[in-house]
Structure 1
Amino acid sequence: MRRSDAAMRLAAALLFAGTAAPALAQSGQQAQGQGQTSSSGFQFGGDGPIEIESDKLEVRDHDNIAIFTGNVQLVQGKLLLKTVKMTVYYKNSGGGGSDNAQVDHMEAEGKVYIKQNDQVATGDQGTYDMGTGVLVLTGKEVVLTQGDNVVVGCKFVSNSKTGQSKLDGCGKGGDSGRIKMLLQPGSQSN
């Protein structure tokens, strides 16, 4: 049981040390169909304490996963993540202790909401791969906001290692569709 607790703490720490930076592209730089931009995104304090709350936690040590379900809320500094279910996949790097567990990737399902300062990203599902630094947020609508500026699409991909982000529109049957953007005059998009 002690191993599971330590593995969960490590998983959460690693997850949020690297996730937020790529989470939001600057909304004013997206155009139509598919947009690419360099992302300033959320700023994470990787050393800050992480608080995770949920209605239920299930740890499957043999499968190297931890599943948080029901009103999941993660807070680190000014960063807030809310979702219905969050699964953290971790791997042991040898040595047999939970201190050697490292997060491989995580999945969030059901009304994913990420907020820091005036930046918000929402979608139906989200994944983050620690190795590649790639965040993917998908859904019927993925909404990215910063202040009063809003960009809507259906698939947001952001790479924290390259600083590149892409938002795909909501097309049907293989068509990439179009993204929607609303920019408010005088609004800051930093």
Structure 2
Amino acid sequence: MNKVAIVLSGLGLSALLAGAAQAQSEPRVTGLQLSGDEPIQIESDRLEVRDAEGIAIFTGNVNVVQGPTLLKSGKMTVYYATDGTAEPSAAGPDASRIERLEVDENVYVKTETQVATADKASFDMKTEVLVMTGKEVVLSDDGNVLVGCKLTVQMATGHALLDGCGQSEGAKGRVKMLLQPKSQSQ
């Protein structure tokens, strides 16, 4: 199957991932490094644009690259503003019109030093809230690891909340953290 390649300039992926940078402030771990002014390249096996509904759906081996940041998933849905005057575009939405992103099916985000994984992720551009959910949401940075089932990040304030999986799963439902001691030579 042929891949679809789209390049967007602007805010799309940066907004989704910038929230994860703030999530690392509680506890203190270096945040995801992003380049908001760099173009975003999206590749997938298929792209469906429903311009009248303001939706673009990328499916099958979705790869999103912005600078050193990589996002992979099985599906990414982009919700964008429609004002009735915009001409339909087979290339998908303009990055400046994006309202919300929803990413499903084995979400994987990698930067130069960090990796975040979840079953699903969503980012609301208006409220600047990033939510990553799944059986196990994992954030790792230089050997430090945070594990839970729901990560909610308020990008504007940098406040992050990592929830466990609930009481019914016993010890597996708790938030876990592994901090690596730094080398004495550093």
TM-score by length of 2: 0.81
Q: Quick one: which amino acid aligns to residue 83 of structure 1?
A: S
Gaps of 5+ in 2: 1-5, 89-93
Q: Which one scores higher on RCO, CA 8 angstroms, separation ≥ 6?
A: 1
Q: Check whether the contact 1:26–1:146 (CA below 8 A) recurs between aligned residues.
A: no
Tell me by how many angstroms 1:118 deviates: 1.1
Number of the residue aligned with 1:85 = 75
Q: Check whether the contact 1:51–1:76 (CA below 8 A) recurs between aligned residues.
A: yes
1:54 pairs with 2:51: no
Q: Deviations over 1:58-91 (max 9, x none)?
A: 1011111000000100000011100000000001
CA distance in 1: counterparts of 2:14 and 2:146, whole angstroms: 26
Tell me by how many angstroms 1:157 deviates: 0.6
1:14 pairs with 2:11: yes
CA distance in 1: counterparts of 2:128 and 2:121, whole angstroms: 13
Number of the residue aligned with 1:122 = 117
Q: Which of the residues 84, 104, 108 maps onto 1:109?
A: 104
Q: Quick one: which amino acid aligns to residue 123 of structure 1?
A: A
**Secondary structure of the equivalent of 1:19?**
helix
Q: Quick one: which amino acid aligns to residue 74 of structure 2?
A: V
**Count of aligned residue pairs for this structure pair:** 172
**Secondary structure of the equivalent of 1:92?**
coil
CA distance in 1: counterparts of 2:181 and 2:95, whole angstroms: 50
**Secondary structure of the equivalent of 2:34?**
coil
Number of the residue aligned with 2:162 = 167
In 2 relative to 1, CA 40–159 (structure 1 residues): closer, same or farther, beyond 3 Å?
A: farther
1:179 pairs with 2:175: yes
Tell me by how many angstroms 1:173 deviates: 5.2
TM-score by length of 1: 0.79
**Secondary structure of the equivalent of 2:157?**
coil
- 1:22-61 map, 5 Å: 22-24=19-21, 25-26=23-24, 29=27, 41-61=31-51
CA distance in 2: counterparts of 1:166 and 1:159, whole angstroms: 9
RMSD across aligned positions (CA): 2.8
Query: Percent identity of the aligned residues?
Result: 52
**Secondary structure of the equivalent of 2:52?**
helix
Q: Check whether the contact 1:13–1:46 (CA below 8 A) recurs between aligned residues.
A: yes
In 2 relative to 1, CA 93–163 (structure 1 residues): closer, same or farther, beyond 3 Å?
A: farther
